[in-house]
Chain A
Amino acid sequence: MMWDGILGGLDVLWQWQVILYLAGGTLIGMLFGALPGLGGPTVVALLIPLTFGMEADAALLLLAASMGGVAFGGSISAILINTPGTAPNAATCFDGYPMARRGEANVAIGAAATASALGAVFGLMVFTLILPFAAQFLLSFSYSENLMLALFGLGTIAIVSEGSVAKGLIAGAFGMLLAFVGRDIVTGRLRYTFDSSYLQDGFALIPVLIGLFALGEVISLLVKGGSIQDHPSEARRSGGMADTMRGVGAVFSNFFLFLRCSMLGTVIGAIPGLGGTVANFFAYLHAKQTSHDGDTFGQGNVKGVIASESSNDAKDGGAMLPTILFGLPGSATWAVLLGGFVLHGVAPGPQLVNTNPDLIFVLIFGLLVANILTSILGILLASHLARLVTVPVLVLAPIIFVTGLVGAYATNGRAGDVVVAGIFGVIGYGMKKYGFPRVSVVIGLILGPIAEASYFQLTYSGQSLWSRPIAMSLLALTVLMLSIPIVKPLLQRRSG
């Protein structure tokens, strides 16, 4: 299965359109990565409508390439102008910018590019090695496991994402309720449509995603204001290719640090909902604590850049595990990407792994090539990308509003989708402002119908939950996860 998948994935890569998609997606990803406030979820949400009409493999390649571009794009502005393009690049500022100020920008960029590319390779290798074992494990999944998996996914994300557990659960349930609008999957009757012909087909996923992640983010940017760099001259780089190669060499001379941070990134990425920011800071703090020159961190130590960049790119390999195997996104970007899967009729989970491994390898190769391409392009185009940060939010915001709404319309050609995207833009902003995790809504929206179908299949088939060890283990894990907020303070109190 594995070799067939690898060969199938490679076969797709040799088409000229695919190479164009890869290059285009990578460049767009880098661009959005370099722009503060507009991270992976925004670029993927805006690109999904453009993939409408493409073959599933080409579409996933384009989206994967944009995701691959985002992480390193964000490090360029972090190093050159002390402004992280995305939150998972925040720790890169601490040492990248001081290095740039003392004329070592190219060393930092070389180190970031190499750590990013190799970090991504590491994460994807871990995923590829785990895949065959996971495929075997997934063969035993049935209705009970699917139902318990949906519960486990919602529970996990409620626990680990921003805000309180109650808000996480509310957001997940809200997503599920949205999924119930339209035709009932068991009886085929209409429900919760309130006599609206638009709602008969339910809420289309893409306009909801565009609203929650792209428009919601832009509203938040406009309301919050933000930082603008007045001095694009800061983006000037000194040193030449020799300096860049010195940065590349620094990764190899700190190879064990790189490996440890990549491993941290992969593991944290595999926990649904945690995402790159946590991986980034964990790895940075780990590097600071374990290095003999830890006291020079924050003053331009290249190890800080290596730790930060290797972990935030390695996390994608880890995030692929729950996303591809179980349909539980590892981060907000992967949650939006799941929307792309759904648009192209690809259902992540046991079926995808065992019947369509080609697509998984297309995604792996897409991320791999995009990460390597990003690093090469990043070194060449860094100064130009950093100047983008000087573009005011007030100019960028209307452009994203327009592309978001037209994109929402383009997916199905329904004018109602534009209104849905607009409404969910406001809801997404409210959720962000008041601490309701938006990832949970997407999980609920995607897992809701699966959970409902599994519930009825379980009921009608007479299958007993008690006789299914995996389902019972998932149930136990869910209960355990949800009890953490109760148990943790008790343990803390006892330990004083």
Chain B
Amino acid sequence: MADVRRSFGRIAFTALLLLAVLLVIGFSFTLGATARTFPLIVAVPMCLLLLLQLWHDIWPHLGERVPFLREQPIVELDLPEEFSDAAEGRSPGGRHVEGLGEGRVILWLAGLTAAVYLAHYLIAAPLFLLVFLRLQARTSWIATLAVTAAVWAVLYLLFYELLRVDYL
């Protein structure tokens, strides 16, 4: 199931990139010759590469025949098995903590982005921290308030007082 979701995500991601490039190519023809030349020099080969990539994402066994699409590092580390976790940046020690769902993380980020966009960051940031720490991280009230107050103080002193960043 996770594999299916992952390959669907992979295809969707490549397809979105392809869509963006097609949009650029389409829009290029509304521009003058000079303005569109270089973007087209970049966008057309990119479009072809994305089509190849999409083909590889949908039918991986077919794509493996094309050397450019093969996920084979040029520099290969011949590591003993016990080192491979660390080589991939995973911690060899400690207890594994389950992650949050992708959708949920992106929703939290979108919520914060909207809050900072619409309100003053000195209001949006502590509000987000309070809600996230209490509802998602399930930290105690004392820890939540302490972290929120500390971060707010740093933002206030650093951005508002020192860098004079205000909401416009």
A226 to B32, CA, bound (A): 51
- Interface of chain B residues 99 through 130 with chain A (CB within 8 A): 99-102, 105-106, 108-110, 112-113, 116-117, 121, 125, 128-129
Q: Given B41, B70, B128, B151, which contacts A164 in the complex, CB threshold below 8 Å?
A: B70
Give the number of residue pairs across the A-B interface with Cβ within 8 Å: 256
Sorted nearest first, the 5 A-B pairs with minimum C-beta distance are A227-B94, A82-B93, A225-B99, A422-B113, A90-B86
**Which B-chain residue is minimally distant from A394 (CB atoms)?**
B137
Instruction: Name which of A87, A191, A225, A455 has the most chain B CB atoms within 10 A of its CB.
Output: A191
Q: Quick check: B147 and A222 within 8 Å, CB to CB? A: no
Please, which residues of chain A bring their CB within 8 A of the CB of B96? 225-227
Q: Quick check: A402 and B151 within 8 Å, CB to CB? A: yes
Q: Quick check: B97 and A225 within 8 Å, CB to CB? A: yes
Please, which residues of chain A bring their CB within 8 A of the CB of B166? 413
Q: Given A37, A228, A415, A426, which contacts B95 in the complex, CB threshold below 8 Å?
A: A228
Please, which residues of chain A bring their CB within 8 A of the CB of B110? 422
- Interface of chain A residues 428 through 445 with chain B (CB within 8 A): 430, 433-435
Q: Is A401 an interface residue (CB 8 A)?
A: yes
Q: Quick check: A422 and B109 within 8 Å, CB to CB? A: yes
Q: Quick check: A455 and B89 within 8 Å, CB to CB? A: no
Please, which residues of chain A bring their CB within 8 A of the CB of B66? 166
A165 touching B68 in the complex, CB below 8 Å, given contacts A219-B105, A419-B117:
yes
A192 to B137, CA, bound (A): 41
Q: Which residues of B contact A (CB under 8 A)?
A: 9-10, 13-14, 17, 20-21, 24, 27, 31-32, 34-39, 41-43, 45-46, 49-50, 52-53, 56, 66-75, 77-79, 82-83, 86-87, 89-102, 105-106, 108-110, 112-113, 116-117, 121, 125, 128-129, 132-133, 136-137, 139, 143, 147, 151, 155, 158-159, 163, 165-166, 168
Please, which residues of chain A bring their CB within 8 A of the CB of B108? 398, 401
With an 8 Å Cβ cutoff, the count of chain A residues facing the other chain is 93
Q: Is A274 an interface residue (CB 8 A)?
A: yes
Q: Quick check: A83 and B38 within 8 Å, CB to CB? A: no
Instruction: Decide if the interface of chain A is mainly helix, strand, loop or mixed.
Output: helix
**Which B-chain residue is minimally distant from A405 (CB atoms)?**
B116
Query: Could you jot down 5 A-B contacts, CB within 8 Å?
Result: A93-B92, A184-B35, A223-B102, A413-B166, A485-B67
Q: Quick check: B91 and A83 within 8 Å, CB to CB? A: yes
A389 to B91, CA, bound (A): 11
**Which B-chain residue is minimally distant from A87 (CB atoms)?**
B89
Q: Quick check: A184 and B116 within 8 Å, CB to CB? A: no
Please, which residues of chain A bring their CB within 8 A of the CB of B50? 170
A187 touching B86 in the complex, CB below 8 Å, given contacts A164-B68, A173-B49:
no
A278 to B158, CA, bound (A): 37
Q: Given A91, A164, A285, A413, which contacts B86 in the complex, CB threshold below 8 Å?
A: A91
Q: Is A303 an interface residue (CB 8 A)?
A: no
Q: Quick check: A413 and B17 within 8 Å, CB to CB? A: no
Q: A53-B163, A83-B91, A277-B89 are in contact. List 20 more A-B contacts (CB 8 A).
A: A50-B158, A93-B86, A165-B69, A173-B42, A174-B20, A180-B38, A219-B105, A226-B96, A229-B94, A285-B78, A393-B97, A394-B133, A399-B129, A401-B128, A402-B155, A406-B116, A406-B155, A415-B168, A435-B71, A456-B34
Q: Quick check: B35 and A191 within 8 Å, CB to CB? A: yes
Interface 9-residue window, one of A155-163, A239-247, A309-317, A339-347:
A155-163
Nearest-Cβ distance from residue A202 to partner chain B, whole angstroms: 13
- Interface of chain A residues 276 through 313 with chain B (CB within 8 A): 277-278, 281-282, 285, 298
Q: Quick check: A215 and B10 within 8 Å, CB to CB? A: no
- Interface of chain A residues 473 through 489 with chain B (CB within 8 A): 484-486, 488-489
